[in-house]
Structure 1
Amino acid sequence: MELIFSSASSTILLSHLLVISALFCSTKALVKLPPNETVPAVIVFGDSIVDAGNNNDLQTLIRCNFLPYGQDFDGGLPTGRFCNGKIPSDLVAEELGIKDTVPAYLDPTLKPQDLTTGVTFASGGTGYDPLTPKLVSVIPLSDQLDHFKEYIGKLKDVVGEERTNFILAKSLFLVVAGSDDIANTYFVLRARKLQYDIPAYTDLMVNSATNFFKELYALGARRIGVFSAPPIGCVPSQRTLAGGIERECAEDYNVAARLFNEKLSAALNSLETSMPDGKFVYIDIYNPLLDLTENPQKYGFEVANKGCCGTGNIEVAVLCNKLSPSTCTDVSKYIFWDSYHPTEKAYRALVNPLLQKCVSKFF
């Protein structure tokens, strides 16, 4: 007997199959959620810390879809993650038991079922300041929002409008940006330095960030976690460029990061007050990463001021490649993979405690 499905009934059937598939394929959750709560997907915006390959086909120097990047990723595959292995968005999805990795939205191999459990729209080199992505030819947050709108349309085609609205309302949205604004746009390239002092520039960043969070909310996001700026003056490249002959932490970079973080935290509190059905959670990465770099032995590391790739002083993105001299033999000793981005081991040391601490704030 021949079975004929209407487009509506086939959409409903596909929706149920995808939900069942997601349930059976999800990894074991390590973080305990409150009773009767769920997080169906992790949806990510921002910069290279959470870019899983969206920059791969861009005409930019901020790319990493080549070895030694990804040498410790599944199959030793350089996917476009700025790391030797997994990045924070992958680890969050893993800890929540959703899936092992969060793929790049622009990945040409992305499957319809990947949409239901989350993707990353992040682009290495971008920032809250609209000038930041222009300077290095990467995807601005405004375009990441456009991709998100497109994603919502595709999700509706896969699981229908009701399930899509549920996914948007219950998913964990992560935003990671700010370090490229401070390190690159303001200090290294000095593109805003004549125009703004640090207090004024951090105001610009926070105003732009706040508008972005409001747009996310307007599109259906309700659980929004925002990473603070890190102690950017302590990453190896900034030590090399601005830390003097001893390569100490560049304190002016860190002062800017702390001022931005104060303002960002206050802005998120204000949004939560004005939009009571939204959860806007400030996630402090500054202090945990500073403690990691100041006390590496406490966390099982030996090297805190250099990256594993090449000399470890300056190599990042296209400068960290398979021709780089003397890439380290034991990455587990290093906090930083290249001169800007932590190793998977360092991310694991940071993400699990942060998630345990913050998860209750989303409910």
Structure 2
Amino acid sequence: MASASLFILFILQACACLFFYTVGAQANIKVSAIFSFGDSILDTGMNNNLPSGRCNYPPYGRDFPGKVATGRFCNGKIPTDLIAEALGIKDNLLTGVGFASSGSGIDPLTSSTLGVVAMSQQLQYFKDYIGKLKGVAGEEKAEAIIANSLVLMSAGNNDIGVSYTAGSRKLQYTFPAYVIQQSQLYALGARRFGVLSTVALGCEPSGRVAGSCSMTANVGAQTYNNLLKAGIATLQSKHSDAKLVFFDIFTPLDNIASNPHQFGFQNANLGCCGGVGSCLPFTTLVCPDASTYVFWDSLHPTEKTYRIVVSDVLNKTLSSFS
């Protein structure tokens, strides 16, 4: 992907002078950069040059700074942006590199069926990035940047929501592969991991049943999340020099989608754009105010929802990185 390579080189110019940010009020945490891997929850535009699975067109980005459709599956900012804000990283140039792809699965097979960047390819991009970073900043400083960065990972939403739920592949296959990816990132020098659970898959507009969250889909998601949490604990026990923290985004999103009015929302059954279908390029089927909707499209929350979810998660987990 030519654009991805250019983006990485652009970021490298900033990495030579990266400095540490401190989260003062919440914990004494120093973060050199943020790297994101996984699926559309964290995708900041990795998919823009793919033939499918992209969203770099209006009305996506309608409420993003500059009203630009950057490739984020949202009306505005996504968890990657909001976590960077919470860490005090105000300059987007210094937030790190986003390798996350719209539907990235934890194995190449998902990539071939969904037309996205598989996790294995994302890892290769990260390896290439580290090599270039060492050339710009020097080996010692590059290793420090990677070790003091925060790696965000989100996977399982497509593998569980599509592959597992549809029965084409089993949970037992996909979950160990995800743990292997974390181990590979550790081997590359990463030491801080924020690992996102799946979203509340049964509460998405496309998955609801008669206006209510699908219990079947949510039980499948929670089964995966429980195994993921246990797997993270196992990895943590093997790597005492690392911090692997489970980010539970399922619970707050389930609470919001099940009780929208308590959180100031008017609609949780439909996506602001497209309702229960796709948010098509330049469509006029879009609500006037996304802040009244829990979901932006049939699968992804609005920025307002993400802000509530991210705040909940960070309030419970940031101290774990100190």
* TM-score with structure 2 setting the length: 0.90
Whether the aligned pair in 2 keeps the contact of 1:31 and 1:96 (CA below 8 Å) is: no
2:151 partner SS: strand
Find out whether 1:231 has 2:200 as its counterpart: yes
- Aligned match of 2:26: 32
On the 8 A contact 1:292/1:299 being kept in 2, the answer is: yes
Q: What is the distance in 1 between the residues matched to 2:44 and 2:280? A: 17
Match of 1:104 in 2: none
1:119 and 2:97 aligned: yes
Where 1:149 maps in the other structure, the secondary structure is helix
Do the aligned partners of 2:165 and 2:220 also contact (CA within 8 Å) in 1?
no
What is the RMSD computed on CA atoms of the aligned residues? 2.0
Match for residue 4 of structure 1?
A: none
Partner of 1:328: 287
| Matched AA of 1:349 | I
Match of residue 191 from structure 1:
168
Q: Which residue of 2 aligns with 1:314?
A: 277
Q: Where does 1:1-363 land on structure 2 (aligned, <5 Å)?
A: 18-19=17-18, 32-34=26-28, 37-60=29-52, 62-101=53-92, 114=93, 117-188=95-166, 190-192=167-169, 201-239=170-208, 243=209, 246-310=210-274, 312-315=275-278, 319-325=279-285, 327-363=286-322
* In 2, Cα distance between equivalents of 1:151 and 1:15: 13
Q: How many residues align?
A: 310
The CA deviation string for residues 87-115 of structure 1, in whole angstroms up to 9 with x for no partner, is 100110111011354xxxxxxxxxxxx4x
Rounded Cα–Cα distance in structure 1 between residues aligned with 2:251 and 2:309: 10
**Any idea what the Cα deviations from partners look like across 1:268-297, whole Å, max 9, x if unmatched?**
101111111111111111111100111112
The CA distance in 2 between the partners of 1:139 and 1:336, in whole Å, is: 24
Unaligned runs of 5+ in 1: 1-13, 102-113, 193-200
The 3 A distance-change label for structure 1 pair 123 and 322 is: same
Structure 2 gap ranges (5+): 1-12
Aligned position for 1:8: none
Residue 70 of structure 2 aligns to which amino acid in structure 1?
A: T
**TM-score normalized by the length of structure 1:** 0.81
Residue 150 to residue 254, structure 1, CA distance change in 2 (3 Å): same
The 3 A distance-change label for structure 1 pair 175 and 228 is same
| Distance across 2 between alignment mates of 1:117 and 1:254 | 32
What residue is the counterpart of 1:109 in the other structure?
none
d(CA) in 2 for partners of 1:177, 1:15: 28
Residue by residue, what CA displacement relative to the aligned partner does 1:336-357 show, whole Å, maximum 9, x if unpaired? 0001001111110110221121
Q: CA deviation at 1:302?
A: 1.2
Question: Separation in 2 of the partners of 1:78 and 1:136?
Answer: 21
Distance 1:247 1:176 in 2: 27
Q: What is the CA–CA distance in structure 2 between the aligned matches of 1:159 and 1:31, rounded to whole Å?
A: 31
Deviation at 1:31, TM superposition (A): 5.5
Q: Which residue of 2 aligns with 1:107?
A: none
The letter of the residue matching 2:109 is: L
